[in-house]
Amino acid sequence: MKFCCECGSPVNESVPAGDNRLRFVCSDCNTIHYQNPKMVVGCLPEWGNKILLCKRAIEPQYGKWTLPAGFMENGETTLQGAMRETLEEAGARVEISHLFTLYNLPYISQVYLMFRARLLDLDFAAGEESLEVALFSEEEIPWDEIAFLTIEKTLRQYFEDRRKGEFGFHIGDVERRNR
SS3 content of the chain, % helix, strand, coil (to 5): 20, 40, 40
Phi and psi for 96 in degrees, rounded to 5?
-80, 135
Provide the pLDDT for residue 111.
98
pLDDT of residue 89: 98
Q: What is the pLDDT of residue 6?
A: 95
Strand partners, 53: 134
Q: Does 178 have pLDDT greater than 80?
A: no
pTM: 0.90
How many residues in the chain?
179
Q: Which CATH entry fits the domain spanning 1-35: 1.10.3210.10, 3.40.190.10, 2.20.70.10, 3.30.360.10?
A: 2.20.70.10
- Yes or no: domain 38-173 corresponds to CATH 3.10.129.10: no
**For residue 55, what are the β-bridge partners?**
65, 132
pLDDT for 179 beyond 70: no
Reference 104, options 112, 96, 93; nearest CA is 112
47-92: per-residue pLDDT in tens? 999 999 999 999 999 999 999 999 999 999 999 999 999 999 999 9
Count of C-beta atoms within a 10 Å radius of residue 25: 18
pLDDT-derived band at 176, boundaries 50, 70, 90:
confident
Q: Which of 178, 41, 166, 51 is nearest to 101 (CA)?
A: 41
